[in-house]
Amino acid sequence: ITRLYFFVGFLSLFLSVHSQHERFVYTKFRRSEGIGADADGSSLSLNAVVEIHGTGLLQLTKETSRLIGHAFYRTPLQFKDTVDGAVHSFSTTFAFAIVPDYPQLGGHGFAFVIAPSIELAGALPSQYLGLLNASNVGNFTNHIFAVEFDTVQDFEFGDINDNHIGIDINNLVSNASVSAAYYSDDGKMNELNLKSGQNIQAWVDYDGFGKVLNVTVSPCSSKPPRPVLSFPLDLSPILHDQMFVGFSASTGLLASSHYLLGWSFAMNGVAPSLNLTDVPSFPSQHKKKNTTFIIIAAVGAVLLLIAAIAAASFLFYRFKNADVIEPWELECGPHRLSYKELKHATKGFRDRELLGFGGFGKVYKGTLPGSGSEVAVKRISNESRQGIREFVAEIASIGRLRHRNLVQLQGWCRRRADLLLVYDYMPNGSLDKFLFSDESGPPRPLLSWAQRFRILRGVASALLYLHEEWEHVVIHRDVKASNVLLDGEFNGRLGDFGLAKIYEHGADPSTTRVAGTLGYLAPELTRTGKATTGSDVFSFGALALGVVCGRRPVESKAAPEEMILVDWVWEQWNAGRWAEVVDPSLGGDYEREEVEVIVKVGLMCSHLEPAVRPTMRDVVRYLDGGDAAEVPDVPSPPADYEG
C-alpha cells in the first residue's frame, strides 16, 4: 500500500506555459513541493503549521488552538496586462474538507487569497483567518483579496452565520456573503455544510472584461449550473501587477483541521478540472463501495454491528457525561476547567455555596482545586443550540477584554444544556446591597462618600474602555447597581458584560426584567430596540444618581412625586435644594464639589435626547477633574417617563 501511495504521489502534474497563460494542477500534493524555501522542485511555499501527508493531502491546520496555516504558489503571477494594465480573467478550482474538533462548532475557516506577499506578516489567527490583524484590517494599502469559507459567526465582522462564503477586500467584513449552498440542475438551491468533513469542491472564476467574480461550491466534482455568489468587482485597484495566490486557514479557541485535496489554476483560461474521486482519500471520509468491499462488508457486518452498539453506548455515555466543549485557552495562558473541577470547586453546586441569582442563572462560590483561587461560577441552563453558537462567538471576544474595573472572565465549560462561566470572585458582592434598603431586610452596610466616588470613577473608566478603547465597540446593555461588583478594596467592577444581548432571547418574558430595570433603560431603546453607547451612558446616569441618593432609579413605594429618581433630583436641583438629594445615611459626610459633579453628570447622562448626553470619555474627564464648574449645565428637564 505504501508503494501504491508512493506511485500515485507522482501523478502530480505541473505545467508552466507562459505567464499570461499560467496554469497549474495539483491532484496530489507531493511532500517535495513544500519542503524548504529553496528546495528543488518545491513549487509551494508552506509555513511551519502546514503538513503534506504521504497520501497527497495538504493539511493547512490541525485541531490546535490559534494556528495559522499558509500555503502559497511560490511564483508570483502576472495578474495585469503588461500593455494596458487590465486585470486578466482567471479561474481556479480546489477541493477541500473541514473537520472540526466538535461536530457543530467550526474553528475558524480558510480562504483562497491573492496577496502581494507570501508572508502576510503580522496576521492573526481566529476570526482574522491568518490574513490581517486588528490594526490593518480594512486598510486599502493591504492589497488583499480573499474568498473566505468561514465556519464561525463573528459578530464583530458582521458575519451572517457560521457557514458562509464571503468576498473579502482588505477586510474581514465581507463585501458580499452568502450561506454555503449550491444549485442543482433543476435550479433548486441546496444547503451545503462546510464543516461536515466531506470533500467539497469550490470554483472561483473572474471575468476580467465583464468584471464579475463568481464563486461556486459543490459536494461533487461536477460544476453546478449557477454560482452561489456572483459579485460585480473591478479587481484593478486591489491587485498589483504581480501577486501571489494561495490559501490561508486559521483556528481560534475552537479548532478545525482544514484540508486541501487538490487545486488547479489558470490565467486567461478555465482551470483544469479536478475529479473528487481522484483526489487523495481522506481519513474520515467514507470509502467508495465496490464489489470487493461488499463481500468484505457482508462478512464483517456482524462484527460491525457489535462494534456499532458498543460505540453508540460509549458515545451516548460520553454525550451524557463529558463536557461537550473543552474549556479553552485564554490569552493569559491555557486555563483548563473541566466540569468535574468546577463541580468539585463548588462542592457539587451546593445551595450553601450560592452567592445569588444572576441575570440568567445561579451564581456559586467556588475554590479551584490546585491554585486554591476563589471564583464565582455562574450556571446557565440553555436548551437552544443556536444560543450556544452565538454564545461561543460572543465569549471568544469577551474573554479577551482586560480592564481593572471589569470582572474578569476566567473560563467556561459546557455540559449538556448547562453553561458554566467562571469569573473572578468579588468578596464584597454587588453595589446594590450597599445602596438600597429593603424595609424587611437587614440594615444595609454603608459605603463612605470617597468609596462611592471611586466606584463611579472605576465604572466610568470600564465603560470608556468598552466603548472606545478596546479593539471593538462593546455595548454593555445592562449597567445597573446589581451588576457593579465590589472587590476586596471596594473598587467597582462591572460584571455580566455583553451577555445580555445573547440571552435576551432566552429570558423568560414573564420575569420583571424590563420593569425591574426600567430606570436604567434609555427611553429611545423601547422605541428603536437598538442598544448604543448612548443607551449605556443613560444607564450610567441612573447608576450615578442612585449612588448619590442611595435610592433606586424607580422607587415604586415612594410618593408619586419622588417615584422617578431623575425627575425628583432635577426638581430639587433646579430649586437649589441640592443637599436634599444626598443619601441621608452619609450623615452629611461628603465632598460637596464631588457631589455636584456627580449630580450634574448624572442628570446630563439621563437626558431624554441621546445627542445631549456626554460620551463616556467626557464623563471620565469630568470625574477626574472633580470640578463642578467644568461640567456643562444640564440644558432642559431630563427624561420624562410619563410620556
Ligand X SMILES: *[C@@H]1O[C@H](CO)[C@@H](O)[C@H](O)[C@H]1NC(C)=O
Q: Which residues are catalytic?
A: 478
Among positions 549-578, residues that touch ligand X (CB under 6 A) are none
State in angstroms the smallest separation of the CB of 19 from ligand X.
21
Burial class of 299 by CB neighbour count within 10 A (0 to 12, 13 to 18, 19+) = exposed
Q: Which CB atom, from 274 or from 426, has the smaller least distance to ligand X?
A: 274
Q: Which CB atom, from 226 or from 501, has the smaller least distance to ligand X?
A: 226
Stretch 121-140: interaction string toward ligand X, x if CB under 6 A: xx----------x-xx--x-
Residue 226 in the binding site for ligand X (CB under 6 A)? yes
**Among 271-279, 347-355, 397-405, 435-443, which window interacts with ligand X (CB under 6 A)?**
271-279
State in angstroms the smallest separation of the CB of 142 from ligand X.
7
SS3 52: strand
**Among 40-48, 59-67, 103-111, 219-227, which window interacts with ligand X (CB under 6 A)?**
219-227
One residue of 98, 169, 181, 484 binding ligand X per CB under 6 A: 169
Q: Which CB atom, from 91 or from 410, has the smaller least distance to ligand X?
A: 91
Q: Which CB atom, from 210 or from 442, has the smaller least distance to ligand X?
A: 210
Residue 275 in the binding site for ligand X (CB under 6 A)? yes
One residue of 64, 236, 277, 373 binding ligand X per CB under 6 A: 277
Residue 526 in the binding site for ligand X (CB under 6 A)? no
Among positions 94-123, residues that touch ligand X (CB under 6 A) are 121-122
Number of residues that bind ligand X (CB under 6 A): 22
In this structure, the dihedral spanned by the alpha carbons of residues 571, 574, 576 and 582, taken in order and rounded to 10 degrees, is 50
Q: What whole-number distance in Å separates Cα of residue 572 and Cα of residue 580?
A: 7
Please give the helix or strand (H or E) that residue 356 lies within, else none: strand 354-357
Residue 141 in the binding site for ligand X (CB under 6 A)? yes
Q: What whole-number distance in Å separates Cα of residue 594 and Cα of residue 160?
A: 47
Q: What whole-number distance in Å separates Cα of residue 520 and Cα of residue 296?
A: 69
Q: Do 407 and 398 meet the contact criterion of CB atoms below 8 Å apart?
A: no
Task: Specify which residues 230 forms β-bridges with.
Answer: 214
Cell numbers linked to 342: 468546577
Stretch 481-510: interaction string toward ligand X, x if CB under 6 A: ------------------------------
Residue 281 in the binding site for ligand X (CB under 6 A)? no
Task: Give all strands (DSSP E) within 374-442, no chain letters.
Answer: 374-381, 409-415, 418-424
The angle formed by the CA atoms of residues 252, 377 and 372, to the nearest 5 degrees, is 95
Residue 175 in the binding site for ligand X (CB under 6 A)? yes
Residue 233 in the binding site for ligand X (CB under 6 A)? yes
Please give the helix or strand (H or E) that residue 178 lies within, else none: strand 176-179
Q: Do 200 and 192 meet the contact criterion of CB atoms below 8 Å apart?
A: yes
Q: What whole-number distance in Å separates Cα of residue 483 and Cα of residue 363?
A: 13
State in angstroms the smallest separation of the CB of 120 from ligand X.
7
Distances in Å between the alpha carbon of 278 and those of 37, 260, 261? 29, 13, 9
Measured from each CB, the residue nearest to ligand X is 122
Give the footprint of ligand X on this chain (CB under 6 A): 121-122, 133, 135-136, 139, 141, 169, 175, 205, 207, 212, 214, 221-222, 226-227, 230, 233, 275, 277-278
